Amino acid sequence: IIDIIATYLTQQDLAHCLCVNHEWHTTLTPSFWRVVRVVDETILDRFRTKETEEALCRNCHHIRVAETTDLGFLRFLATHRNLATTNLQSLTLRLWKEKKAQPQSSPPEPSFSPSSDNNPDISEIAPTPSVTAVLTESGISTTTGCVVTEAAWMVQMLLRRSKNLHTLSLDEGCFRNTINSIGDDETGNRDEFHTVFSVIPTAYLERLEISFLGAPALPGRPSEQQNLVERTKHAVDRIKHAASFHQSYEPFLALKELVIKGSYTTLMDSSRQAFLVRCPNVETLCINRLDPFTIFTMPPFLQYTCPKLSSLDWIRGTMDSDENIAELLRASVLGWRVLRLPMMFWFGSLALEALMESIETLEELRIEGCGQLRKNAILDLLCSAKNLRRLESVADGKRTEETIELKLHAYEAYLEHVEGQMDRTWALGPSIEFLQLKLLGVPRPDVWYNQTGQRLVDLNAEMDVALRFEVQRWIYTQLSRLTGVQELVLGITDFDQEALTNYGLSPPSTTTLEAEAGTFEEDLATVFVGEWIRAVGRVEGVEDVGREEDGASDRD
């Protein structure tokens, strides 16, 4: 129970608890030292006094979660004899960016400095080397703090003694055997990626994150001027060669989630993908800023190496071609269960066709934007995704001028359903929990909006008046089947000047425009959602719903 309670306490709360008495100090010390982060500072900055150095050396065997950007703290974790070999459960190393020199200043006092009254009898504890001693014996300058050599060797040493890791996050700086100055292209350019991977513990590792952001050009790569055939052949050869190396090591059988970050402007060495042969049970893949050539070469390799892959989280917008996007969307053998896609300007018919191949298994879909789809192409998905639970577009507050979100024009969809002799009835039903869709073309012939005494522009003026009520009934019938929905977003809540301009609004100031936009959108939402609520559960009786307003009914 004490361990559970401790998870709700901040580091400062725990520090105060340690000072209560000897019993509290003994009981809560493991919780206080469970998480240690040395980020954007050095180990000597963090543990500045003799007392805090001794406390770290004495209690480092309690550390379960470690995160650092400091090579000195990495060496301490890798070499200190008090660190047990199976205690560390989560390790995050961010070594690539060199810490810029900061003016000399007095660092803040540590949040906790064990006092003699609250510490157990030090004479009963075997003497341990100080932090300074560990760094000095290992050849680290304790005056400059960041001139360190053999970073990859230290990472390997730490990984060999961390057999119980559940989560591991490494960046490009962890794969350099000699680093005198992080980011220096002349030093530290020897790639130890495959060697480091050979010692990563496999027994319990569930989540692995690899960042290649900032990686320099690696030797032996084809130039970007080579044609696609030559570059692809070169990539396949390098993958095969590296894969034979990785196949001689134990697979990551417990690994379920894999995160790969790249540098969009720098081509990643294709041989880096070879470690995937050791990931047969990966279910979730998260990719961020991978270069177009990697997006092109990775899908067939994923199909072969990760047959259980069912979730893709693609972060940040991309200018990848429709063909490349389509190939990546075909990388799942079982079919995607979860797809989270960024704004993709070239997402078109090929990508949609590939997405539709997973329509039977798809439960969650987020598309922040797709630029090349034909109008109402999303209707194909709505009419097929019977197991879909969530359909999301771009989140509020994240729209940009380039965002092209999911849209459905109800009037034109109805014409497809009737005149096109196609069944456009939605497959969505009670299973849907969240639906976000920009719904256009729902006519309201009995409602008019006025601004400063003049009527707003009627965007539905070109619709056949005789079909207006039929379109309403059809769209409300589709929505009435969503009996399990918990959140419904059928427009946008972000401020959208273009939408208001289309309706003929020309406010004198931004403040006025925002106020008018809020009232205008609220009125639209009230009308639309009011009709939908009354339609729910009355599929057969929607035609009978009516409301008199100033002598005009919904049927007029």
The residue with tokens 């055939």 is: 229
- Angle (nearest 5°) at CA 205 between 361 and 85: 170
What's the pLDDT at 186? 43
H helix intervals, 268-394: 292-305, 322-329, 349-356, 378-382
What's the pLDDT at 36? 93
* Three-state helix/strand/coil letters over 39-58: CCCCHHHHCCCHHHHHHHHH
- φ and ψ of 23, to 5 deg: -65, -45
Cβ-count burial of 509 within 10 angstroms (0-12 exposed, 13-18 middle, 19+ buried)? exposed
What's the pLDDT at 109? 36
Which residues, including other chains, have CB under 8 Å from residue 530's CB and lie 6 or more apart?
A: none
Q: Six-digit token pair at 26?
A: 């003994």
Contact status, residue 513 vs residue 507, Cβ threshold 8 Å: yes
DSSP assignment letter at 316? S
3-class DSSP state of 214: coil
Q: Which helix (H) or strand (E) covers residue 76, if one does?
A: helix 71-79
The one-digit pLDDT tens for each residue of the chain (556 residues) are 777 888 888 888 888 888 888 888 888 888 898 999 999 999 999 898 889 888 898 888 899 999 999 988 998 999 887 766 668 999 999 988 644 434 333 333 333 333 333 333 322 223 345 565 555 444 444 333 333 457 889 999 999 999 999 999 999 889 876 644 444 444 445 778 889 999 999 999 999 999 987 665 544 555 555 566 666 776 777 787 788 888 889 999 999 999 999 876 667 778 888 899 999 999 999 999 888 888 888 998 899 999 999 999 998 867 788 999 999 999 999 999 999 999 888 999 999 999 999 999 999 999 988 888 888 888 999 999 999 999 998 877 777 777 788 888 888 888 888 887 778 889 998 999 999 988 888 876 555 555 555 665 555 667 777 788 888 889 889 999 999 999 988 875 555 556 556 655 554 443 333 333 433 443 444 444 444 444 444 434 334 333 333 333 333 3
Specify the length of the chain in residues. Answer: 556
* CA–CA separation, 169 and 286 (whole Å): 13
Q: Which residues pair with 357 in a beta bridge?
A: none
Contact status, residue 87 vs residue 142, Cβ threshold 8 Å: no
Query: Cβ–Cβ contacts within 10 Å for residue 241, how many?
Result: 11
What pTM was estimated for this model as a whole? 0.76
What's the pLDDT at 513? 37
What's the pLDDT at 189? 54
Contact status, residue 367 vs residue 348, Cβ threshold 8 Å: no
Q: Which residues pair with 93 in a beta bridge?
A: 68
Nearest C-alpha neighbor of 411 from the set 457, 498, 479, 470? 470
- φ and ψ of 378, to 5 deg: -65, -15
What's the pLDDT at 373? 84
Pairing of strands 450-451, 454-455: antiparallel
Give the Å distances, CA to CA, from 351 to 306, 322, 330, 357, 461: 21, 6, 9, 10, 34
Long-range CB pairs of 331-334 (<8 Å, 24+ gap) are 331/298, 331/299, 331/300, 331/302, 331/303, 331/306, 332/303, 332/358, 333/303, 333/307, 333/308, 333/309, 334/307, 334/308, 334/309, 334/310, 334/361
Q: Six-digit token pair at 531?
A: 């009709």
Give the model confidence (pLDDT) of 210-262 as tens digits.
Answer: 998 766 554 455 555 556 666 677 677 778 778 888 888 999 999 999 999 98
- φ and ψ of 281, to 5 deg: -110, 10
Q: Six-digit token pair at 365?
A: 């879909």
Contact status, residue 254 vs residue 281, Cβ threshold 8 Å: yes
What's the pLDDT at 18? 85
The residue with tokens 């570059």 is: 231
Give the Å distances, CA to CA, from 243 to 85, 246, 250: 29, 5, 13
**CA atoms 243, 247, 253, 254: torsion sign:** negative
Q: Six-digit token pair at 166?
A: 């559940």
- Angle (nearest 5°) at CA 274 between 270 and 278: 160
Nearest C-alpha neighbor of 302 from the set 332, 270, 262? 332
